[in-house]
Structure 1
């Protein structure tokens, strides 16, 4: 993953633009529910090995926050795949 994200042609703007195009095509004309949750993933590590992990919880742990989202067609019920 680091090689992908570290590549000069890969930018946050290009990733979002790509997702935006496919998302618009998938949801156009539908009533969509976006169901989201947040999870904290706590990683036991030492200060020397944190490699950019952020503070989670009340700032006394380090790890990452995960924000999964499930898009569901509100009329028919299937999960949208885009």
Structure 2
């Protein structure tokens, strides 16, 4: 796994989400939602915009895994049991 790259695949939700068009994470595969790859480095760069804070923890509940050659894609759902939480803490 030395040369293997791992990315998170997050669903792309366009427009306003209403109750009648909401897709629960269990229905993600059949919802037709586009998936966007996000690397760990991208997440860390995102947290750098909060200058008085630093990344404390990253909780990722993976819904599935796709492996192709040297790339592993971790599928993250919309919310609930398959979601992602980024926790920042104030810098000391």
TM-score range, shorter chain: under 0.3
Structure whose alpha-carbon radius of gyration is higher: 1
| Greater relative CO, 1 or 2 (CA 8 Å, sep 6+) | 2
Structure-1-length-normalised TM-score: 0.26
Structure-2-length-normalised TM-score: 0.25
Structure with bigger helix share is 1
Structure with bigger strand share is 2
